[in-house]
């Protein structure tokens, strides 16, 4: 199985005719993802190396049976692109765009909750999602993702940090540990998909036997995840929290990664996860080593 995306996912790339959209859209297709169309109102009728470009997401749904979107457009156009995809009925939308104004993110989040409750947005400002060997939407390099094994055990990964998403994948690949799905939720203040959303999906996924979680300073997402783990997650977990040395009040990388008023610290998050039964590493490599021990115990 997998979560969110698999062999049946049919992707429309909003922004395929732009430089980044073309590069990553074609990389996704080369990985094996079923990229069925691109969208550009001004360039409809052309194709990008065999991928047809249409005028709207609705046309991609009607003519090419798209059921997921990859949004690769500038910040000013991102909110409109996400809502266009939702209005067209796509149930899964990945937006990698960085620098979207917080008010636009909040407006889109509320619009999805109120008007399109069946739609899942991943991101914005995230690396995307990969179910190794099945589907890759976003900017993750497919070659660092270990294919899941038929009999398991396989690991699900969820991460706020883009770079550490890649490192988590590579740590497991070096140890030849299969991955069911790897989800980068992004580090903006208003993410469309949370840790809890992913943990719930991994808990229900038959192909996922253990979970590796990568968090970072700022906000309360990791503490909320710890509460969920304690109450609902039965699968073994390891984790790493980035930002141990971050000074209070200073933003570190992501817009959401800021410690304020003594809240959102790395130590506080580590303590919450440990109290929930998660094995917490002091660095990404140690989190991978802890996961290797967990997988060995499951084999």
Q: Annotated active-site positions, please? A: 254
Residue 187 to residue 125: CA distance in whole angstroms: 7
What residue has token string 């008023």? 261
The torsion angles phi and psi of 9, rounded to 5 degrees, stand at: -75, 125
CA distances from 251 to 213, 223, 224 (A): 21, 19, 21
Quick one: tokens of 213? Answer: 């979680």
CA distances from 295 to 6, 13, 212, 237, 279 (A): 23, 36, 11, 10, 13
Contact 34, 135 (CB under 8 A): yes
């Amino acid at each position: 199985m997998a979560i969110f995306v698999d062999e049946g996912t049919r992707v429309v790339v909003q922004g395929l005719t732009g430089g980044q959209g073309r590069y990553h859209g074609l990389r996704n297709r080369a990985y094996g993802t079923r990229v069925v169309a691109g969208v550009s109102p001004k360039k409809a009728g052309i194709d990008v190396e065999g991928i047809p470009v249409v005028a709207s997401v609705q046309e991609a749904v009607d003519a090419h049976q798209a059921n997921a979107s990859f949004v690769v457009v500038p910040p000013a156009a991102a909110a409109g692109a996400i809502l266009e995809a939702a209005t067209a009925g796509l149930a899964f939308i990945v937006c990698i765009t960085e620098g979207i104004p917080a008010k636009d993110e909040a407006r889109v989040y509320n619009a999805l909750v109120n008007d399109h409750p069946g739609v899942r947005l991943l991101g914005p400002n995230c690396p995307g999602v990969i179910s190794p060997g099945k589907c890759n939407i976003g900017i993750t390099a497919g070659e660092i993702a270990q294919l899941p094994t038929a009999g398991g055990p396989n690991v699900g990964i969820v991460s706020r940090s883009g770079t550490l998403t890649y490192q988590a994948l590579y740590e497991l690949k070096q140890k030849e540990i299969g991955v069911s799905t790897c989800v980068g939720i992004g580090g903006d203040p208003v993410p469309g998909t949370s840790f809890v959303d992913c943990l719930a999906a991994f808990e229900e996924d038959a192909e996922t036997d253990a979970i590796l979680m990568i968090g970072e300073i700022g906000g309360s997402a990791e503490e909320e995840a710890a509460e969920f783990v304690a109450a609902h997650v039965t699968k073994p977990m390891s984790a790493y929290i980035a930002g141990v040395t971050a000074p209070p009040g200073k933003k570190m990388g992501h817009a959401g990664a800021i410690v304020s008023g003594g809240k959102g610290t790395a130590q506080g998050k580590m303590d919450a996860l440990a109290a929930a039964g998660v094995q917490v590493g002091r660095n990404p490599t140690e989190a991978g080593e802890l996961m290797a021990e967990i997988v060995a115990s499951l084999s």
